[in-house]
Chains A and B, each alone.
Chain A
Amino acid sequence: MNDFTTWDILRNLLLAARWTVLLSLVSFVGGSLAGLALLFARIGKGRLGPAFAKTYIELFQGTPLLMQLFLAFFGLGLFGIDVPAWLAAGLALILWTAAFLAEIWRGCVESVAKGQWEASSSLGMGYLQQMRWVILPQALRVAVPPTVGFSVQVVKGTALTSIIGFVELSKAGTMVTNATFEPFTVYGFVALIYFCLCWPLSKSSQILERKLNVAHRNH
Chain B
Amino acid sequence: MNYAFDFGWLADYWPVLLKGIGITVELTLVGGVLGVSLGIACAWARALGPAWLKPVVAAYVEMIRNTPFLIQLFFVFFGLPALGLRMGELQAANLAMVINLGAYGCEIIRAGIQATPKGQFEAGASLGMSRIQTFWYVVLIPALQRIWPALSSQIVIVMLGSAAVSQIAAEDLTFAANFIQSRTFRAFETYFAATLIYLALAIVLRQLLRGLGWTIFPKRAAR
Contacts and interface: CB of A to CB of B under 8 A. Distances in A.
B221 to A, nearest CB: 22
Interface in A134-172: 152, 156-160, 162-163, 170
B96 to A, nearest CB: 12
Contact of A199 (B66, B68, B156, B188): B66
A58 B44 CA distance: 33
Interface residues of B, number: 40
A173 interface: yes
Contacts of A80: 1-2
A174 interface: yes
Interface in B179-216: 187-188, 191-192, 194-195, 198-199, 202-203
Interface string A19-62: 00000000000000000000000000000000000000001001
A198 B63 CA distance: 10
Contacts, number: 120
Nearest to B81: A183
Interface centre among B79, B161, B164, B187 (most CB of A within 10 A): B79
Given A74-B187, A78-B1, A184-B82, A67 B198 contact: yes
B75 interface: yes
Contacts of B195: 63-64, 67-68, 71
B148 interface: no
Interface string A80-91: 100000000000
B3 interface: yes
Interface residues of A, number: 40
Interface in A102-131: none
Given A71-B188, A183-B74, A199-B62, 10 more contacts: A62-B203, A63-B199, A67-B163, A67-B198, A70-B177, A160-B164, A170-B74, A183-B82, A184-B78, A187-B75
Interface of A: 59, 62-68, 70-71, 74-75, 77-80, 152, 156-160, 162-163, 170, 173-174, 177, 182-184, 187-188, 190-191, 194-195, 198-199, 202
Instruction: Name the 10 nearest CB pairs between A and B, nearest first.
Output: A159-B68, A183-B78, A64-B163, A198-B66, A184-B82, A74-B187, A156-B68, A66-B163, A184-B79, A67-B195
